[in-house]
Amino acid sequence: MSKAEISEAVDHEDVPRRSWKQDPDGVRANILQVAREAFAQKGLSGTRIDEIAARTSTSKRMIYYYFGDKEGLYLEVLADAYRRTREAEDALELEGLQPEEALRKIAEFTFDNHRRSQDFIRLVMIENVHEARHMPGSVEMSGENSSAIRMLEDIYARGLEAGIFRPGLSAVELHWHISALSYFNVSNRATFSHIFGDELFSEEGQNTLRRHVGDMILRLVLV
Partner DNA sequence: AGAATTTTTAACCGCGACGAACATTTATTA
Partner DNA sequence: TAATAAATGTTCGTCGCGGTTAAAAATTCT
Q: Please report, as ranges, the residues that interact with its own copies according to CB under 8 A.
A: 42-46, 122, 124-132, 135, 141-143, 146, 149, 172-173, 175-177, 179-181, 183-185, 187-192, 194-197, 199-200, 208-209, 212, 215-217, 219-220
40: amino acid identity, one letter: A
Residue 164 interacts with which of its own copies, DNA, none, CB < 5 to 8 Å by class: none
Closest CA to 86 of 154, 143, 152, 155: 143
Q: Between residues 102 and 121, which has the closer beta carbon with respect to its own copies?
A: 121
Whole-number Å distance between alpha carbons of 124 and 148: 17
In the complex, minimum distance from the CB of residue 122 to DNA, in angstroms, rounded to a whole number: 18
Q: Between residues 67 and 111, which has the closer beta carbon with respect to DNA?
A: 67
Alpha-helical regions (H) of the chain: 3-14, 24-42, 49-55, 60-67, 70-90, 99-116, 118-129, 147-161, 171-187, 189-196, 203-221
Whole-number Å distance between alpha carbons of 88 and 117: 10
Residue 207 interacts with which of DNA, its own copies, none, CB < 5 to 8 Å by class: none
In the complex, minimum distance from the CB of residue 83 to DNA, in angstroms, rounded to a whole number: 21
Closest CA to 173 of 152, 143, 158: 152
Q: Between residues 8 and 215, which has the closer beta carbon with respect to its own copies?
A: 215
Q: Which residues bind DNA (CB under 7 A)?
A: 8, 11-12, 16-24, 26-27, 47-50, 57-62, 64-66, 68-71
In the complex, minimum distance from the CB of residue 166 to its own copies, in angstroms, rounded to a whole number: 10
In the complex, minimum distance from the CB of residue 59 to DNA, in angstroms, rounded to a whole number: 4
Q: What are the residues whose beta carbons fall under 8 Å from the beta carbon of 183, sequence distance 6 or more?
A: 114, 121, 124
In the complex, minimum distance from the CB of residue 150 to its own copies, in angstroms, rounded to a whole number: 13
Q: Between residues 66 and 201, which has the closer beta carbon with respect to DNA?
A: 66
Whole-number Å distance between alpha carbons of 193 and 195: 5
Q: Between residues 75 and 220, which has the closer beta carbon with respect to DNA?
A: 75
Q: Are 50 and 58 in contact (CB under 8 A)?
A: no
Residue 132 Ramachandran class (φ > 0 left, ψ -120 to 50 alpha, else beta): left
Residue 204 interacts with which of its own copies, DNA, none, CB < 5 to 8 Å by class: none
In the complex, minimum distance from the CB of residue 211 to its own copies, in angstroms, rounded to a whole number: 10
Whole-number Å distance between alpha carbons of 102 and 89: 14
Q: Between residues 8 and 198, which has the closer beta carbon with respect to its own copies?
A: 198
